[in-house]
A and B are shown apart, each in its own frame.
Chain A
Amino acid sequence: MTRRLDRTTCEETFRRLDDYLDRRLSPEETRLIEEHLHLCEACSREFVFEASVIEGVREKLSRLTAPPDLVARISAQIRREGEAG
């Protein structure tokens, strides 16, 4: 059976994009989304862009690590608390 590629299908796909990116869909829903993305160039472009924003934001934020002096202060704080009992 060939699924119709129309505006409703595009809207439905877009509505589920976040759930798809977060792997929240059932295998059947995932299959339908992937089928549409394979057929629809516009949705596929939007999907890749949205996924890229999420991945890029996550990657940038992961670079914000605790400063070494804060980690040292926290370690010392824990030792003091442990010794004080």
Chain B
Amino acid sequence: MPETSRIASRRWAGTAGRPVAEVELLLTGLAVWAYGVALGLADGEAQAGERLQAAIAAACQGFAALAAGEDGRLWFLGLLLAGFPAPGQADPGPTDSGTDLEDTPDLLLYARSGAAGWPTTGAEPAAALLDRLGPGRVIQALRRLPGDYRIVCTLYFMADLSYEEIARVLQYPVGTVRARLHRARKMLQKSLWQVAEAEGLGDGPGDPSQ
């Protein structure tokens, strides 16, 4: 029997006989989807991988309890978040600065980047600065947010969840999610600008070819 057929014929214990291959496909898909969330909440790739594998172990153990019709994404995120300190208990951020992100005026990035000579008009005015920062620096900026704001922002940007979905995962009122997300966006702008300054981009784009 070919290897794929043998795998497909196996049954997952305790899941009403669902094929192992089907469960593997489902859980692997969830893990790939949730990787960004793990990365946003972890200190780095290694820790993100460890937390993701711990969530997968919990998912394998608890898969039979996943109710029919239940949103598997939110269920898996609950398992993943259980591996991180609860926001407000052991605040994971800011991790690399003592700056006060909470004191952030409106439109900070618009004002600072514009004053430095970065584009503020056009179809995608922030793209030039964000392109120069790249994904690595953008997630660095996200990780510098205080825990309560970092987790909401991570679920919003990384998992693309709605306010209601974030509220269900974190067991917050929707109004709390909305308020924290609005504030987190402002903090993220300040953090992005601080990272940009640290990268020498605070004086404008200069000549990108140099």
Contacts and interface: CB of A to CB of B under 8 A. Distances in A.
Interface in B2-42: 7, 10, 12-14, 20, 23-24, 27-28, 31-32, 35-36, 39-40
A61 B182 contact: no
Contacts of A4: none
B77 interface: no
B49 A70 contact: yes
Interface in B155-192: 157-158, 160, 163, 178, 181-182, 185, 188-189, 192
Interface stretch (B96-104, B119-127, B202-210): B119-127
B56 A18 contact: no
Given A49-B126, A65-B35, A77 B110 contact: no
A50 B60 CA distance: 41
Interface string A58-74: 11111111110011011
A52 B142 contact: no
B68 to A, nearest CB: 20
A1 interface: no
Nearest to A14: B106
Interface residues of B, number: 55
Contacts of A48: 121-123, 125
B88 to A, nearest CB: 23
Contact of A53 (B24, B39, B109, B160): B109
Interface residues of A, number: 39
B53 A77 contact: yes
Interface string B132-159: 0111001100100000000000000110
B82 interface: no
Interface of A: 14, 18-19, 22, 24, 45-46, 48-50, 52-67, 70-71, 73-75, 77-79, 81-85
The 9 closest A-B CB pairs, nearest first, are: A85-B13, A81-B60, A66-B35, A82-B20, A56-B130, A52-B126, A60-B138, A53-B126, A60-B135
23 contacts: A22-B163, A24-B163, A45-B120, A46-B110, A49-B110, A49-B125, A50-B107, A52-B124, A53-B109, A56-B131, A57-B188, A59-B130, A61-B36, A65-B35, A71-B28, A71-B31, A74-B27, A78-B23, A78-B24, A78-B28, A79-B7, A82-B20, A85-B13
